[in-house]
Structure 1
Amino acid sequence: MTISVNAKDLVSVSVGGAIVHPGFPGLPAEPYRLSADGRPFLLPTWGGIVYNVSVGDSAFGWAADCIHPGISIKAADDMKNRGLTVFACVGNTAVVMTGRAQGAKGVVTGKSGRFSEQLILHFPKSVRKEMSVGDQIVVRSVGIGMLVDGHPGVTCKSLSPTLFDVLAKRTNNGKMEIGVVATIPSHLVGAGAGLSSDAGSLHIQSTDRAALAKAGLDTLRLGDIVAFEDTDSRYNHGYLRGAVSIGIVGQTDGPRAGFGPGVTVLMTAPQGELGCFPAPDANLKTLLNLED
């Protein structure tokens, strides 16, 4: 049975930003952060043009702190940036408007969390080499307001019709089920809990590596489709027994407590209307045929 959405009713509107420079806060004066066991570290972090980390690569093992694969963009002021990070949906097309890579097309692959508030885009590595910090990029946003026919209890979040169409999905006793690589138990939900679910990310706890391996999460790749157990993300991310949220791994692991791989939530439902089934190949690189 085909599961459809109200695609014909959705408005497509431009949002945009510039490739953002990686940065550090002015205070404290030193640039070091603290790992989960109290060790200071200095590693590349979010922002900029990342030349060698892409969707499809491992979410673990990089000498980095929650790095964004590909390109990170941000709008000039907070209000415009809020429009960018709320309206843009995973799977939307991004177009470079200035610089040597002008005209190149990419894809929205995720949203960054609190303190950075950036949109994450995939472009082929050959294109990234031609890009520069400050290049302007327009996103053809569409997806906000999307409803799933026959499943009124399911709320779509940051999900484009393009990506919805290619997700592995089925109906089982009236419940919509999505194919996922792994399921995240509620006790491994980390940073992002309690915050808005429209423009940020929800991180996986990864300090306890044994628990991570036991849950089958230690081999996650950037772009993997995953499910959160007992997590209601309709408005804010929070614990609710029986709720399920579906998302995409958009950022790498990091040394800080609570900041394992960051996930952009795509769908959520509070009372058993949404489920999942194993789909080991459910990765954005394959689903959208992303070029390396």
Structure 2
Amino acid sequence: MLRTNIEKTVIQSVQGKIHHPVASSPFRIGHDGSVNILPATGAITYNVSLGDPAFGWAGDHVEPGVSIKNEDSNENNALMVLACVGNEARVISGDAKGAKGIVIGKHGGIDHVLVQFEKEDMEKMAVDDKILIKAWGQGLKLLDYPDIMVMNIDPNLFLNIPIKEENGMLKVPVTAEVPAYLMGSGIGGSTAFSGDYDIMTADTETVKRLRLDRLRFGDLVLLKDCDNTYGRGYLKGAVTVGVVIHSDCIKMGHGPGITTIMTCKYSKIQGIIDENANIKNYLK
């Protein structure tokens, strides 16, 4: 088993409210020039869940499950940084009080943390219901691999991923590998410890050739030549592993969002293609 500093990592409460969708304009311009009115980010999305396809929805940047946020920007920054994929969440107000769920992603730009609950619990929820998260994961380190940075993932979930050690490298199950030239919106961000960045999908032939059109919410993917250590950018030989957290998009430069969970400036991470490499299969 990978040696980590798990016993030194801090568990801390963070909290947010279910966020109403927002729209400065009803229109969304597609990369083909089309004008669209579609559901997008925010609120409770009843019929889109962890494990569902990330493509094919009549929507844009659709967030599975429940989207939460804080009105105070500093508090929301802390929520976005400290909440990690796989963390336990609990409803603390409203008719669904006591219901438990799991953090499944962090969406930059709109700055939402995404939480999956059982569907019967979501039926009882309302906008502005409060959700508390036991934030745990930032600060997790691999003691034998100091060059590999781990972020945004619950330590128990991370240790449940069947990662193999071989000749100083980590072999990680992923459903697909993405070339750096397809990474778009969010690139150049100052940190990967919050939010996500998008796989661009306007080139449908390339997307199909790389089988990216089969991605599902929660899938692990490997990003080639992508450095997420101190921001997001291109670096030949760098490797990043992330989780698919929102749907495909119609807008130019956008597509399924990826929240980073591992990154290295050197080629010390190798992807092993496994169609079952989805966090849904590693959650207890």
Asked if residue 146 in structure 1 is aligned to residue 155 in structure 2, the reply is: no
Higher strand share: 2
Query: What are the superposed Cα offsets for residues 82-127 of structure 1, whole Å, 9 maximum, x if unpaired?
Result: 000000110100010001110111000001121x001011101111
8 Å CA contact 1:185, 1:215 repeated in 2: no
Shift of 1:272: 1.4
Using the alignment, how far apart are the partners of 1:34 and 1:149 within structure 2? 47
> Which residue of structure 1 aligns with residue 13 of structure 2?
14
8 Å CA contact 1:248, 1:263 repeated in 2: yes
Superposition pairs for residues 100-139 of structure 1, below 5 Å? 100-114=95-109, 116-139=110-133
Q: Which amino acid aligns with 1:104?
A: A
The percentage of counterpart residues that share the same residue type is 38
Using the alignment, how far apart are the partners of 2:280 and 2:2 within structure 1? 22
> Which residue of structure 2 aligns with residue 232 of structure 1?
227
Using the alignment, how far apart are the partners of 2:3 and 2:21 within structure 1? 40
Q: Which amino acid aligns with 2:91?
A: V
Using the alignment, how far apart are the partners of 1:69 and 1:179 within structure 2? 23
Q: Which amino acid aligns with 1:145?
A: G
**Root-mean-square deviation over aligned CA pairs:** 0.9
Asked if residue 276 in structure 1 is aligned to residue 271 in structure 2, the reply is: yes
Shift of 1:210: 0.5
Asked if residue 42 in structure 1 is aligned to residue 37 in structure 2, the reply is: yes
Unaligned runs of 5+ in 1: none
Asked if residue 4 in structure 1 is aligned to residue 22 in structure 2, the reply is: no
Unaligned runs of 5+ in 2: none
Asked if residue 259 in structure 1 is aligned to residue 254 in structure 2, the reply is: yes
8 Å CA contact 1:168, 1:282 repeated in 2: no
Shift of 1:273: 2.1
Asked if residue 86 in structure 1 is aligned to residue 73 in structure 2, the reply is: no
Q: Which amino acid aligns with 2:7?
A: K
> Which residue of structure 2 aligns with residue 248 of structure 1?
243
Shift of 1:4: 2.7
Tell me, what secondary structure is at the counterpart of 2:184? coil
Tell me, what secondary structure is at the counterpart of 2:142? coil
Using the alignment, how far apart are the partners of 2:169 and 2:282 within structure 1? 22
Q: Please report the TM-score for the alignment, with normalisation by the length of structure 2.
A: 0.98
Using the alignment, how far apart are the partners of 1:4 and 1:179 within structure 2? 19
> Which residue of structure 1 aligns with residue 201 of structure 2?
206
Using the alignment, how far apart are the partners of 2:19 and 2:106 within structure 1? 14
Tell me, what secondary structure is at the counterpart of 2:89? strand
| Greater Cα shift, 96-105 or 162-171 | 162-171
Shift of 1:190: 1.3
8 Å CA contact 1:5, 1:161 repeated in 2: no
Shift of 1:188: 0.9
> Which residue of structure 1 aligns with residue 50 of structure 2?
55
